[in-house]
């Protein structure tokens, strides 16, 4: 995983905490669909309701695409949360936009990809959040299967799991995130969202989320 800029990573993390798009509850953990217990819940869709934060995210996702993937010819959002971010980026860059469903539409053309499919077109995939990378990489593979050349992926936030890095490496897809868990923790402590005594628990979760708080 790459980041655009450490100062941007800190600023984005702070803004996501400020608007409660990211919530930290080590003493009252959330339960993910996978069954994992988690001290963090991240819903970056909330950023769309805050114009200042929305503009910050859009501007830096655009910069990420321009810097890391300068030959891009189209933008693809991952349903559902990657759709609005992808549309904002494609509009700013004046590029075609498509989005990828999690499964084919059950009627009509039964499309997996909505929008004009142009085989050979160089596309950057847009996500809001990366955890293990499974659903994100499935969308990238669906684009490849349709004939697109996937240059890479940009996202707002990543938990920074080792398994995600491994999955992206194996898929041969470069991931660029605006912010990540390591940038989040200093902001959370510095702005009193959590105290130093809970920091160790937050760090332990990231090391082994599958077993954290399971005993």
67 is in an annotated binding site: no
127 is in an annotated binding site: yes
132 is in an annotated binding site: yes
107 is in an annotated binding site: yes
Mean pLDDT by 10 residues, the chain (215 residues): 97 98 92 88 97 98 98 97 97 98 66 93 97 94 97 97 94 97 96 88 89 76
- Give me the pLDDT at residue 109, please: 53
Output the pTM of the full model: 0.93
- Give me the pLDDT at residue 102, please: 84
- Give me the pLDDT at residue 34, please: 79
The CA-to-CA distance between both ends of the chain, in Å, stands at 31
49 is in an annotated binding site: no
- Give me the pLDDT at residue 208, please: 85
31 is in an annotated binding site: no
128 is in an annotated binding site: yes
43 is in an annotated binding site: no
131 is in an annotated binding site: yes
- Give me the pLDDT at residue 116, please: 95
Within the chain, strands assigned E span 2-3, 22-24, 30-31, 37-38, 40-42, 74-78, 97-100, 113-114, 122-130, 149-158, 175-180
Strands 22-24 and 40-42: antiparallel
């Amino acid at each position: 995983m790459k980041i655009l800029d450490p100062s941007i990573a800190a600023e984005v993390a702070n803004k996501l905490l400020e608007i409660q798009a990211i919530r930290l509850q080590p003493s009252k953990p959330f339960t993910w669909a996978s069954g994992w217990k988690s001290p963090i819940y991240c819903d970056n869709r909330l950023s769309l309701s805050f114009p200042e934060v929305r503009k910050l995210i859009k501007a830096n996702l655009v910069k990420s695409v321009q810097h890391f993937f300068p030959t891009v010819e189209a933008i693809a959002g991952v349903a559902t949360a990657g759709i609005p971010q992808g549309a904002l980026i494609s509009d700013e860059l004046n590029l075609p936009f498509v989005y990828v469903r999690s499964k084919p539409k059950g009627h009509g053309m039964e499309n997996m990809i909505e929008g004009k499919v142009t085989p050979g077109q160089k596309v950057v995939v847009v996500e809001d959040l990366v955890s293990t990378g499974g659903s994100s990489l499935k969308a990238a593979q669906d684009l490849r299967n349709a004939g697109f050349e996937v240059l890479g992926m940009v996202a707002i936030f990543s938990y920074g799991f080792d398994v995600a890095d491994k999955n992206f490496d194996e898929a041969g897809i470069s991931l660029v995130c605006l912010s990540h868990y390591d940038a989040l923790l200093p902001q959370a402590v510095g702005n009193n969202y959590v105290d130093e005594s809970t920091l160790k628990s937050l760090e332990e979760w990231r090391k082994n989320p599958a077993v954290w708080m399971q005993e």
